[in-house]
Amino acid sequence: MENIDLIESFSEFKDDKRIDRATLMSILEEVFRAALKRKYGSDANFDIIINPDKGDLEIWRNRVVVEDGEVEEPNEEIALKDARKIEEDFEVGEDVSEEVKLIDLGRRAILALRQNLISKIHEHDNTNLYKQFKELEGELYTAEVHHIRHNAVILLDDDGNELILPKGEQIRSDFFRKGDNVKGIIKSVELRGTKPSIIFSRTSPEFLTKLFEQEIPEVFDGLITIERVARIPGEKAKIAVDSYDDRIDPVGACVGMKGSRIHGIVRELGNENIDVINYTKNENLFIARALSPAKVESVEFQEKKEGEKPRVKVFLRPEEVSKAIGRGGVNIRLASQLTGYELDVQREGLDDEDVELTEFSDEIEDWVINAFINAGFDTAKSVLEQDVNLLEKRTDLEEETILEVQRILKEEFEG
């Protein structure tokens, strides 16, 4: 294979991979020097001249002329008689430059050289891709569904780059078809071997933040800041917003007239219910707002135990308890995430004859008590007053378990 033919075959990489001229020249020289080292033991005395645009490649070996029979390093020295075959007037001690043709390296070496070049270009491409997407971590991105697997969706962007949307990063209601455009954020980029693995996410709280930045001009412009976000993807989210401009109502600006501004975000998230609340550094007030739509009477901060999340007792009227907890405990879980406190809901104005369910922890297992509390039944009478079928639906507990709990509670009042 002639030098020019080989260089022409390399030009396809320049076009396909969009490698700049300087980088391609550097890669070419690197692989040629590796081939020369394998062939001659060293590449230090070789000059390589490359012009990939024109298809020019020249390799020159530089050696010193020595007396015939005194050659000790064939790669660095040349006998006088051999030098004079190149040019008749060479003398001992002079430098000789001789062009090396690729054919001199051998066919196998040329094939290995080409394979090495392909590998280096792919490595360069992967390194650039890794750097490109590493800078995009946490940013909003759109890609097209290419392939659907049982545990992930494979996406391709406009440049043909592959992104992975794992099952755990999909909203529960997500349903994709090949060719669909999918919006999410670049969650992480990792190198697996030499190939970058780009993980896409639609469940990350940052995705909700970025959607607000995209849809709400005041958030994009920095007039409204998003202070905290808590999400149960596809179900419910709470987002705390603030503004340094007293003339701007941050909640009103985010929600819009009759929810017009937030509607697109809700639709993108599979009808995820979004509570937007005003952020405040007043922790008592922030906790009360986080538990909306429930109306909080008062809060009581507990002494923090080492290694545990700080706890707060939240007192509400009995009719507000179920609102604070929410269906399946969703509201209180999100409020806890948003505020950073473990929130213990307490009924204010509890009937003197009633008893909090937690008082029965010696007789009833904690997970059973929590199931009742999460469903809004936090006192003995609130459990006893309800029909078993209703309790079964609200708590997901077995009928047998509910009847046993009611038996224990009845004994408290009858004993």
* pLDDT confidence of residue 388: 87
For the chain, the straight-line distance linking the first and the last C-alpha, in angstroms and rounded, comes to 101
What is the C-alpha to C-alpha distance for residues 2 and 74, in angstroms, rounded to an integer?
A: 25
* pLDDT confidence of residue 89: 84
- Give the CB-side neighbour count of residue 195, counting CA atoms within 13 A: 6
Q: How does DSSP classify residue 244?
A: S
Structural domains in the chain, sorted by start = 3-132 (3.30.1480), 137-203 (2.40.50.140), 204-279 (3.30.300.20)
- Render each residue's pLDDT in the chain as its tens digit; 415 residues: 444 455 555 555 545 555 666 677 777 778 888 888 888 888 888 888 877 656 567 888 899 888 888 888 888 888 888 888 888 888 888 888 888 887 777 677 767 777 777 777 777 777 778 888 999 999 999 999 999 998 999 999 998 899 999 999 999 999 999 999 999 999 999 888 778 899 999 999 999 999 999 999 999 999 999 999 999 998 999 999 999 888 999 999 999 888 899 999 999 999 999 999 999 999 999 999 999 999 998 988 888 878 788 889 888 887 788 888 888 789 999 999 999 998 888 877 655 567 778 888 888 888 988 888 877 787 888 888 888 888 888 788 899 999 998 888 888 777 5
What is the C-alpha to C-alpha distance for residues 10 and 66, in angstroms, rounded to an integer?
A: 38
Q: Angle CA(245)–CA(248)–CA(249) in degrees, nearest 5?
A: 130
* pLDDT confidence of residue 12: 54
- Which residues are paired to 97 by β-bridges? 62
* pLDDT confidence of residue 10: 53
* pLDDT confidence of residue 25: 73
- Which residues are paired to 85 by β-bridges? none
Are the C-beta atoms of 153 and 198 separated by less than 8 Å?
Answer: no
Residue 335 C-alpha from the chain's centroid: 24
Nearest alpha carbon to residue 242 among 252, 251, 255: 251
* pLDDT confidence of residue 55: 56
* pLDDT confidence of residue 237: 95
**144 contact partners, CB below 8 Å, separation of at least 6:** 155, 156, 157, 179, 180, 181, 182
What is the C-alpha to C-alpha distance for residues 213 and 120, in angstroms, rounded to an integer?
A: 40
